Amino acid sequence: MLTVALPKGELLKHSIRLLKSVGLDFSAFLEEGNRQLQILDASGKARGLKVRAQDVPVYVEYGQAQLGIVGEDVLREKKPLVARLVDLGFGYCRMSVAVKASCPYKSPLDLPVNSRVASKYVNCARDYFQSLDFPVEIIPLYGSVELGPITGMSEAIVDLVSTGKTLKENGLVEIATLYESTAMLIAHPLSYRLNTDGINDWIDQLREGVTTEQLGVRS
């Protein structure tokens, strides 16, 4: 049976709407008080797993789910061995370098050499500053990265920004964008190549669903 790994949080509602447009109904995941981590879709054709965004590619890489939906940011940070199939268009955000609004740095290259940069995305942050040939010390944090510059622990942060509200509330400003991120449809590479459980049909339908939705938005 087809299994789809869905990310908790921001992307869940959109992911469920997209899957519903191709006949897979996982809306039970959205019911208040529903604590289930796996459910069958209403028609019994597929199984859904609701997991942390960072865990989606793990379930897909190990073949426990043939398909998954996850933000580009997670794929860039974890570099999992999964097939990246369709840009789903929703869940836009960007990975940015931000500093205190009161400081004089207008670009990452203005930072003092060997500055401290706090981030939940240590690989993205490290790769970016290496690509600039600019030495910094990355401080790994799990949450509230904006506290780094506020407490003086770090000169800058690398973090996901969607509306920019959190940065503003904390007196921080963006000075560079590493990349933009949207939700991606991913697949277990072997299942994709061997068309296990007929997943290529589902992929085609989802691709079409996305195109129709995007045309709908434009019209």
Considering beta carbons, is residue 86 or 125 the nearer one to a second copy? 125
Selection from 60, 96, 90 nearest residue 75 by Cα? 60
Contacting range for a second copy; rule: CB under 8 A; set: 59-67, 91-99, 174-182, 204-212:
59-67
* Residue 176 neighbours by CB distance under 10 Å: 18
- Radius of gyration over alpha carbons of the chain, in Å? 19
Minimum separation from the CB atom of position 21 to a second copy (A): 26
Secondary structure (3-state) at 111: coil
Cβ proximity to a second copy, 59 vs 90, nearer residue: 59
Helix, strand counts (H, E) of the chain: 8, 11
- Beta-strand relationship, 93-100 and 156-161: antiparallel
C-alpha 158/C-alpha 161 separation (Å) is: 9
Asked if 49 is part of the footprint of a second copy (rule: CB under 8 A), the reply reads yes
User: Binding-site residue total for a second copy (CB under 8 A)?
Assistant: 26
Member of 21, 27, 54, 205 binding a second copy (CB under 8 A): 54
Does 79 help bind a second copy (rule: CB under 8 A)? no
Q: Which is nearer to a second copy, 28 or 58 (CB)?
A: 58
Residue 34 CB, shortest distance to a second copy, in Å, is 14
Min dist. Cβ of residue 212 to a second copy (A): 32
Residue 150 CB, nearest approach to a second copy (Å) = 7
Q: Does 143 bind a second copy (CB under 8 A)?
A: yes
State how far the Cα of 153 lies from the Cα of 198, in Å rounded to an integer. 51
Residue 38 sits at the vertex; the CA angle it makes with 212 and 77, to the nearest 5 degrees, is 65
Helix (H, G, I), strand (E, B) or coil at 136: coil
Residue 213 contacts residue 18 (beta carbons within 8 Å)? yes
Q: Taking the complex as a whole, how short is the minimal distance between the CB of residue 1 and a second copy, in angstroms?
A: 12
Which residue among 51, 97, 160, 186 contacts a second copy (CB under 8 A)?
Answer: 51
Judged by the rule CB under 8 A, the positions of this chain that interact with a second copy are 3, 8, 37-38, 49, 51-52, 54-55, 58-59, 62, 64, 116, 139-144, 146-147, 150-153
